[in-house]
Amino acid sequence: MIRVENLVKTYRMGSIEVEALRGVTLEIARGEFVAVVGPSGSGKSTLMHLLGCLDTPTRGSYYLDGSLVSGLNSDDLARIRSRTIGFVFQGFNLLPRLTALENVELPLVYQGVNPTARRLKARECLEEVGLSDRANHLPSQLSGGQQQRVAIARALAGDASLILADEPTGNLDRRSGREILDLFSRLHRAGRTIVVVTHDMEVAARAHRLLRLQDGLLVGDERVG
């Protein structure tokens, strides 16, 4: 599903260039559950942003579902993000004035799905994450774990085949974090491809494959679990 070849990302800070990624090559098959680990500054989040089409590489190639996406324009990248990729972030990124149901509907709004169909789909996604009884609650009325489940439901709403999660349990207590990990495991068993960036080895242990980054380089690739 994912193939990157000699991926390089360089950021310019004034007169200084910083290489966040220094030639990463890897493949991720459809249906894999992969954890990306490494110390702060290793390039984990940069890799996530590139895989999620939130940024473009300085050099190298990125193929998603066999199509070269590393050279696409911003409009094409936005279409891929809305139809193929679901994002789950540490900070939940829910809109505070929208209900849980309305937050889950957002990807479908961007896809132009009619109101009746998107409302039905959003309710199904909330039920899938065990929050059908919280559909009309605002984010401020939900616990951290519940907010993250809403965020996962939103990622599912657009029928994303690839879920990218950046430190998804970082703002949660241990019990809520384990509930989110159980949910990811269930989604993986249902056939979705999941890539999780984390510094927490308990999170990484739930994956079936571990990619280790250090100083912008891929230094480890091992099967686990």
Q: What are the structural domain ranges in the chain? A: 31-54+83-223
pLDDT digits (tens, 9 = 90+) for 185-222: 988 998 899 999 998 888 899 999 999 999 999 999 99
| CA 182 and chain centroid, separation | 16
pLDDT digits (tens, 9 = 90+) for 8-31: 999 988 888 889 999 999 999 999
Return the DSSP state at 4.
E
- Cα–Cα dist 16/121, whole Å: 48
Residue 89 has pLDDT above 90, yes or no: no
pLDDT digits (tens, 9 = 90+) for 148-180: 999 999 988 888 889 999 998 888 888 888 999
Residue 136 has pLDDT above 70, yes or no: yes
> What's the mean pLDDT in 60-89?
86
Q: Does domain 31-54+83-223 have CATH number 3.20.20.140?
A: no
Other CB atoms within 10 A of residue 200 CB: 16
- pTM greater than 0.85 (yes/no): yes
Residue 15 is predicted with a pLDDT of 86
Q: Which long-range contacts (CB under 8 A, 24 or more apart) does 20-23 make?
A: 20/46, 20/216, 21/46, 21/47, 21/50, 21/57, 21/216, 22/215, 22/216, 22/217, 23/60, 23/217
